Structure 1
Amino acid sequence: MATELKSVLVLGATGVIGQYIIRSLIEAQASFDRLAVFTSPSTVEKKAKEIESLEEKGVQVIVGDLTNQENVLKAYEGSDTVISCVGRNMIKAQIDLIRWAEESSPNIKRFFPSEYGTDIEYGPESVFEKPHQAKLAVRNYIKSSIRRVEYTYLVTGPYADLYIAKLSQNPCLGSFDIEEKKATLLGSGDDPISLTTMNNVGKLLVAALRNPTASRNRALRVNSFTTTPKRILAEYERQTGTNWDVSYTSLDDLKKLEKNAWESGDSLAAIYTLRRIWTEGGTIYEFTDNELIGMHPEDLDSLEDAITMAISSNGQEAFRSGDL
C-alpha cells in the first residue's frame, strides 16, 4: 500500500498551472499537515503580492535555486511529496530533482513530475513527437533509475481554458475570439477532444494525493469533459446569443503548417504539433481515471461551465507557454 501523502512541496507554484494547483491545495489544506512552495529570489521580487498571499494562507515559502542541489535538498526537508509545476524549459531539470530525492532525501515518498498534458506514451507514434522528448526523458530516467521514490503522472489533456480561447499569434491553429465572434475550428470540427479546465487540474491533483494507492506509480488519465470544436462553437453561440463567423483548418493543412513551422524555426512549432496530435484524437483514451480517484462528473467543470467562465473573463488569450 502506498504511503499516506500529507506534507506537500510545490515547485513552480506561481506559474501557469502551478497557481491553480496551489489554490486547490490551499482549499484542501485541512487534508495536509504542511504546504510549502520552493521558489526563486527573482520570483519573490517580481511576484511579491502573490508570495505574500501564500504566506498569509499558511503556505511556507522556501527561497532558493532549483538547479542547486544543496538548496533543493534543504527545501525537501519536512516534505513527503513533491509536486512539480515547472514550465517546458525546465522539464529535463526534473531528472536531477528526482535523483536528489531518491539518493539523498529519504523523507520524499512521492514525486509528481510536470506532465499535465497528452499522455506521451499512449500511442506508438508518441516516442517520435518533438514536444514529448523532454517528458519522455524524465519518464525513462524514472523507469531505469528510481527504485524507492513513487511517482504519479497526472495526464490532463489540453487545458480547456486555453483551447477555447483566442489565439492571436496564429488563429489557424484554432481560435475562439469572443469579442469579434470569430472561430477557427481544427479538422472537420467533429473530431473529439478531451479537455480539462485549469481549475480542475488542481482539484484532480488533490484527489490523486487523497488516493495514494490508486495513483501510485502510474499515469492517471483524467479530464473535465470530452467535446468537439463544433460543440464548443455551438455553446459559444448559445451563450452569446449570436451566430459566429467560422473558418476551418483541415488536418492536412495543419500538418503542412506544422512541417513549415519546424523547418523555419517558428516559436509556435510545438503548438502546431500538439494541436495536430489533439485533432488526430491523441487525447481520446479508452477510459479516464476520474472515478478511480473519487472524482465524478458533478465534481468537475462542464463545457457549459468552461464557456461561461471564458465569456465572463472576455476570453483568456491562449498564450504560448500555457498552451503547451
Structure 2
Amino acid sequence: MADKNKSKILIIGGTGNIGKFVVEASVKAGHPTFILVRESTTVSDPVKAKLVESFKDSGVTVIVGEVYDHPVLVKAIKQVDVVISTVGSTYHLVDQNKIIDAIKEAGNIKRFFPSEFGMDVDRVRAVEPAKSMFESKAKIRRAIEASGIPYTIVVGNCSSGFFLPNIAQLGLTAPPRDKLTIFGHGNVKVVFNSEADIGAYTIKSVDDPRTLNKILYIKPPNNIFTFNELVSLWENKIHKKLEKTYVPEDQLLKLIEESPWPLNIKLGIGHSLFVKGDQTYFEIEPSFGVEASQLYPDVNYTTVDEFLTPFV
C-alpha cells in the first residue's frame, strides 16, 4: 500500500532491464509510484504491455508520454517529488537533457537519479569506443551539476543478470562447462550485483540525506570477486575444472581495435572491468560517495554464490 508520507517517485524507462526492478522496489517500499511509458511500448511489445498491466495492478500510476513531449513530461514531473531515469539504449542517454530541462521548469523535484547504474563513469580508464559511451553519461552528470538540481548517482557496477548467466563469456547464452576465456591475468577485483538489489538500494536512498548530491556505490563485500575466484566458485559448483585461455592486455587492445561495432564496445567494457579494474582501484571518499551495503545493512542482498546456484 502506498504511504502518502513517502516521496512520490516517477520512473522513466520503467519497463527496462533495471527499470522494472526499480519500479518493483518502489512499490514494495510503499512509495506512491508513477511511470512514464511511451504509447508504442504498450502497443507493439506484448511482453512490456503485460508488465505495464502488472504495474497497474500493484497500484502504479501509468502516464503515457515520452521525454520528447515537453509539456507531458513537465506535467508528470509536477505530480511527484523524485525522478528516476532508467532509460537505456532506445532513448539516447543524452536525451536525459530533456528530463533536466523539464525538472528545471517544474521546479518541485527534491532529487533526480540519472540513468547510470553501471560503473563510475568519472573514474573509468576505458579505451575507445567504450570511452565515448562512458563520456556521454559523464556529460549528463556535468549538466545536472550545472543545473543545481539535487541528485544521487547510483553505481551498481556489474549487473548479475547480464554478466553471470554466461560467466561473462561473450556470445554464450549459458554458463561454460568445458572452457572459458579470461581477459588479463584474472586477478583484478570486480563487483556483481543482482538487478533486484540495485533496485532496492536505489529506492532506499531516495529520502536519505546521506546520499544527497553523492554517488551511491553498491559494493557488498560478498559480491567482490576476481575473475579467477569467480571461475573457481563456478568450478566448485559443477565439480569440474575448466580449460582456461588467458588473453593478455596487448592482445585484447588489438582485438578491440580490429573488431566491428558492437563487439568492440563489449570488449572495451571487458578491458575496463577485468584488466584495468575500474570498479575497484579507487577508495570511496566521503567527499563524493557512500557505500550502499554499509548504509543499509538491513538489505538482504543476493550474493554471487546464491545467484549462480540455479544455473548449476
TM over 0.5: yes
Deviations 1:96-125 (A, max 9, x none): 2112101x2122221100001111112577
Does the CA-based 8 Å contact 2:157-2:193 persist in structure 1? yes
- Aligned pair 1:199/2:196, yes or no? yes
- Aligned partners of 2:193 and 2:86: how far apart in 1? 16
Does the CA-based 8 Å contact 1:21-1:203 persist in structure 2? yes
- Aligned partners of 1:249 and 1:137: how far apart in 2? 32
Deviations 1:209-254 (A, max 9, x none): 142x111112122224210111111111222222233322222222
**Secondary structure, aligned partner of 1:82:** strand
Which residue pairs with 1:251 in the alignment?
249
- Over 3 Å counting, the alpha-carbon distance change for 1:181 and 1:21 in structure 2 is farther
For residue 290 of structure 1, report the CA deviation from its aligned partner: 1.9
- Aligned partners of 2:237 and 2:167: how far apart in 1? 20
Does the CA-based 8 Å contact 2:191-2:225 persist in structure 1? yes
Does the CA-based 8 Å contact 2:126-2:271 persist in structure 1? no
1:1-324 correspondence to structure 2 within 5 Å: 6-29=7-30, 32=31, 34-45=32-43, 46=45, 47-88=48-89, 89-102=91-104, 104-122=105-123, 129-144=131-146, 146-147=147-148, 149-166=149-166, 170-171=170-171, 177-178=174-175, 180-211=177-208, 213-224=209-220, 225-261=223-259, 265-279=260-274, 280-284=276-280, 285-287=282-284, 289-291=291-293, 293-295=295-297, 299-309=300-310, 311=311
- Aligned partners of 1:178 and 1:170: how far apart in 2? 11
Does the CA-based 8 Å contact 1:207-1:293 persist in structure 2? no
Unaligned runs of 5+ in 2: 285-289
- Over 3 Å counting, the alpha-carbon distance change for 1:242 and 1:167 in structure 2 is closer
For residue 169 of structure 1, report the CA deviation from its aligned partner: 8.8
For residue 170 of structure 1, report the CA deviation from its aligned partner: 4.0
- Aligned partners of 2:214 and 2:127: how far apart in 1? 17
Does the CA-based 8 Å contact 1:153-1:220 persist in structure 2? yes
For residue 304 of structure 1, report the CA deviation from its aligned partner: 0.7
Which residue pairs with 1:320 in the alignment?
none
Does the CA-based 8 Å contact 2:12-2:85 persist in structure 1? yes
- Aligned partners of 1:269 and 1:295: how far apart in 2? 38
- Aligned partners of 1:232 and 1:238: how far apart in 2? 10
For residue 295 of structure 1, report the CA deviation from its aligned partner: 3.4
For residue 181 of structure 1, report the CA deviation from its aligned partner: 4.0
TM-score (norm 2): 0.86
For residue 160 of structure 1, report the CA deviation from its aligned partner: 2.3
- Aligned partners of 2:58 and 2:39: how far apart in 1? 20
For residue 138 of structure 1, report the CA deviation from its aligned partner: 0.6
TM-score (norm 1): 0.83
- Aligned partners of 2:198 and 2:131: how far apart in 1? 24
For residue 81 of structure 1, report the CA deviation from its aligned partner: 0.3
For residue 293 of structure 1, report the CA deviation from its aligned partner: 2.9
Does the CA-based 8 Å contact 1:176-1:184 persist in structure 2? no
For residue 177 of structure 1, report the CA deviation from its aligned partner: 4.2
Does the CA-based 8 Å contact 2:41-2:49 persist in structure 1? yes
Unaligned runs of 5+ in 1: 313-324
Does the CA-based 8 Å contact 2:67-2:98 persist in structure 1? no
- Aligned partners of 1:236 and 1:150: how far apart in 2? 42
Which residue pairs with 1:321 in the alignment?
none
Does the CA-based 8 Å contact 1:117-1:156 persist in structure 2? yes
Greater Cα offset, 157-166 or 12-21:
157-166
Does the CA-based 8 Å contact 1:131-1:274 persist in structure 2? no
For residue 60 of structure 1, report the CA deviation from its aligned partner: 0.6
- Over 3 Å counting, the alpha-carbon distance change for 1:218 and 1:26 in structure 2 is same
Does the CA-based 8 Å contact 1:9-1:79 persist in structure 2? yes
- Over 3 Å counting, the alpha-carbon distance change for 1:126 and 1:267 in structure 2 is closer
- Aligned partners of 1:168 and 1:281: how far apart in 2? 15
Deviations 1:174-227 (A, max 9, x none): x6842644322221122211222212111110221142x111112122224210
Does the CA-based 8 Å contact 1:185-1:246 persist in structure 2? yes
- Over 3 Å counting, the alpha-carbon distance change for 1:272 and 1:54 in structure 2 is same
